[in-house]
A and B are shown apart, each in its own frame.
Chain A
Amino acid sequence: EAQVTQNPRYLITVTGKKLTVTCSQNMNHEYMSWYRQDPGLGLRQIYYSMNVEVTDKGDVPEGYKVSRKEKRNFPLILESPSPNQTSLYFCASSLVGPQETQYFGPGTRLLVL
């Protein structure tokens, strides 16, 4: 089944404790992206990747890191999480870029205390 998977789905952590949210797709898509969803703010793009080893900042990259060492994986790293990073995070992928249909993962709900 073609899908985007994210792990974990739910996470509670404390300020400053490094964490990684994994994202994997099995559709051989070149483009992958991370978003955060906050009430009243819609979806905002954090980082995106047009291909392996190519990443770029979205609208809200501060406090986040990403890497794209393989086509299928695009982990999101929070080196020192803070409470303002409490949010619902979505990973998405598409064949060649956002001008194509994006396929979204189920989301990761993060609470930073």
Chain B
Amino acid sequence: GDSVTQMEGPVTLSEEAFLTINCTYTATGYPSLFWYVQYPGEGLQLLLKATKADDKGSNKGFEATYRKETTSFHLEKGSVQVSDSAVYFCALDTNAGKSTFGDGTTLTVKP
């Protein structure tokens, strides 16, 4: 079946550091790929998405590129802020209705 493997956390960075959270996937067909973010005490919200190979999703300074050849969708940000502290989930979805999430990576940014 489909699966998503995320970089293990937690990740702790200083403010303005570069962030990478790795995500690789296995899936049949051509899934859409997502990054969701969960702030403390809240539900998940979409951060960015990509629907086909070589697409780049971007939002709030975060970026991720859909790499079919390496089955990856790594999340990057050039300069993190304290307000970026949250749990980040990589996910894939297919037209079949099932949705698969990674285990989540907790990011803490220190001033």
- A contacts, CB < 8 Å to B: 4, 31, 33, 35, 40-45, 48, 50, 56, 58-59, 90, 92, 97-99, 101-107
Complex-state Cα separation, A58 to B97, whole angstroms: 9
Q: Report yes or no: B97 in contact with A48, Cβ–Cβ below 8 A.
A: yes
Complex-state Cα separation, A56 to B100, whole angstroms: 15
Q: Report yes or no: A42 in contact with B101, Cβ–Cβ below 8 A.
A: yes
Between A and B, 27 residue pairs with Cβ closer than 8 Å are A4-B43, A33-B99, A35-B99, A35-B101, A43-B44, A45-B99, A45-B101, A48-B98, A50-B97, A56-B97, A58-B98, A90-B43, A90-B44, A92-B44, A97-B97, A98-B94, A99-B31, A99-B32, A99-B94, A99-B95, A101-B34, A101-B46, A101-B49, A102-B36, A102-B93, A104-B44, A107-B43
In the bound complex, residues from chain B placing their C-beta under 8 Å from that of A45 are 98-101
In the bound complex, residues from chain A placing their C-beta under 8 Å from that of B94 are 98-99
| Seed contacts A97-B95, A98-B93; 18 additional CB < 8 Å A-B pairs | A41-B103, A42-B6, A43-B91, A43-B104, A45-B98, A48-B99, A56-B97, A92-B44, A99-B31, A99-B32, A101-B46, A101-B49, A102-B93, A103-B45, A104-B36, A104-B43, A104-B44, A107-B43
Q: Report yes or no: A43 in contact with B51, Cβ–Cβ below 8 A.
A: no
- B contacts, CB < 8 Å to A: 6, 31-32, 34, 36, 42-46, 49, 51, 89, 91, 93-95, 97-104
